[in-house]
């Protein structure tokens, strides 16, 4: 069974940091582009970042450039998102996705909640 399990979310003060993790199972993780997608409360989906199979290419939405870093460990079937200088507008559920359909996200985790508030 294909599975993505996120962890690392929580409550953090503005300016703080969090590191999200996502562990994959049931598919060949090292063959997939992987992404992080977020959804603010009551809002739509926003693509945040993605990373190539070997980690050699990484891309970010403009609003997180310079603050967030995506990475992966293929030996551990794991995806990460280091989030620094967090802002209230980063509050959202963060989903880990596997982009196996020519770039479309065919597998999704259940999400982890990140709340930025004082």
Partner 1 sequence: DIQMTQSPSTLSASVGDRVTITCRASQSVTTWLAWYQQKPGKPPKLLIYKASSLESGVPSRFSGSGSGTEFTLTISCLQPDDFATYYCQQYSSYSMYSFGQGTKLEIK
- How distant is the alpha carbon of residue 82 from its chain centre? 9
- Let me know: does 115 contact 49? Beta carbons within 8 Å: no
Q: How far is the CB of 16 from partner 1 (least distance, A)?
A: 26
Residues 23-62 that bind partner 1 (CB under 8 A): 33, 35, 44-47, 50, 52, 57, 59, 61-62
Is 5 or 11 the residue whose CB approaches partner 1 more closely? 5
Report the sign of the C-alpha dihedral through residues 115, 96, 15, 59, in that order: negative
Q: How far is the CB of 15 from partner 1 (least distance, A)?
A: 27
Residues 56-85 that bind partner 1 (CB under 8 A): 57, 59, 61-62
Is 58 or 77 the residue whose CB approaches partner 1 more closely? 58
Measured between alpha carbons, how far is 110 from 85 in angstroms, rounded to an integer? 25
Half-sphere exposure of 35 (CA within 13 A, CB side): 21
Is 44 or 66 the residue whose CB approaches partner 1 more closely? 44
């Amino acid at each position: 069974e294909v599975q993505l399990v996120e962890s690392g979310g929580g409550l953090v003060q503005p300016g703080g940091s969090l590191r999200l993790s996502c562990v994959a199972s049931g598919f060949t993780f090292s063959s997939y582009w992987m992404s992080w997608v977020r959804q603010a409360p009551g809002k739509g989906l926003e693509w945040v970042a993605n990373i190539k199979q070997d980690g050699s290419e990484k891309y970010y939405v403009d609003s997180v450039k310079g603050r967030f870093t995506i990475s992966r460990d293929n030996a551990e079937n794991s995806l990460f998102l280091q989030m620094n200088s967090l802002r209230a507008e980063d509050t959202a559920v963060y989903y880990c996705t596997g982009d196996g359909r020519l770039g479309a996200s065919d597998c999704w985790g259940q999400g982890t909640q990140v709340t930025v508030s004082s």
